[in-house]
Amino acid sequence: RLKDLEIAKLGDSDVHVKMLAAPINPADINVIQGTYAILPPLPTVAGNEGVGEVLEVGRRVTGLKPGDRVVPAITGLGMWRTQGVFPEEKLMKVPSDIPLLCAAMLTVNPCTAFRMLTDFESLAPGDSVIQNAANSGVGQAVIQIAKAFGFKTINVVRDRPDLPKLVERLMALGANHVITEEMLRKPEMKEIFKSIPKPRLALNCVGGKSTTEMMRHLQPKGTMVTYGGMAKQPVTVPVGAFIFQDVRLRGFWMSQWRKEHMEDPEKVNTMMDTLYRLMRTEQLTPPACTQLPLEHYRAALEASMKPFTSSKQILL
């Protein structure tokens, strides 16, 4: 429900923020459905990601001032609101020259893509990565960051009525190959590996059959990282892939990474500075968006849950 709440009193270490834009992500839907790993005590305000402008700061606040743009430094702050009061340490300042929609969608998808591309395999320019759900927010960020780093991408999507249009859009972002899940099982895959090496890294957001087929193309000792399970089916691994290929299976969750690196500002800053640089040079752009005022949240939620949606719903 849309509700009018009293704004909390501004404490000495608090920041009063006017929210500007907040996306609807799959994890937000899962929280509302009660199926996510972390569930807030109810009643609560939803929305894990977004950007706001500082209106006022408490007298002990040193790192922020009115007019600064901020994003949440942790999940669960509740971004689907017009205003809020938050502790300073739970916010992160964003440079003012970062486009609004980039800032609104900064802390989940681009960060997830960056970490998965850098933390699990030491990839060098020319190496390749294979991923499913390539048209998702993370998938599009992976394509663009990989291109900026000189990595090749093989991008798997579900077959759909407007497939040529989607292929064209992903190629324009920098994808090297876009294929359907059915093609993973076909001999044409051999053609792809004549021009680029077999991937050392696979990124899985689907689960089920898609994952099993994708894994067949990994190099020996390659790593598959699972960060989502859209098919709601387990990850099934052929025994031979473990024994004869020695593939590694890992999991990744951005919320957990943030929790573990709260005391490591250098690692966080290095990541953010790289993402800011890519955004300034338009090497990293936000996915296609549909912008709606907050009061139209119901239509936005319904649209975000439709199959084959390529447009991210943004609450203004």
Other CB atoms within a 10 A radius of the CB of residue 35 amount to: 10
Other CB atoms within a 10 A radius of the CB of residue 165 amount to: 10
Are the C-beta atoms of residues 121 and 53 closer than 8 Å to each other? no
Tokens read off for 272:
């953010």
Angle between helices 265-280 and 109-119 (to 10 degrees): 110
Which residues carry out catalysis? 36
Tokens read off for 305:
């849950």
User: From CA 279, how far away is CA 234, in angstroms rounded?
Assistant: 35
User: From CA 311, how far away is CA 129, in angstroms rounded?
Assistant: 24
Instruction: Locate the DSSP E strands across 10-108.
Output: 14-23, 51-57, 69-72, 83-87, 91-94
Other CB atoms within a 10 A radius of the CB of residue 167 amount to: 18
Cis-peptide, bond into residue 125, ω within 30° of zero: no
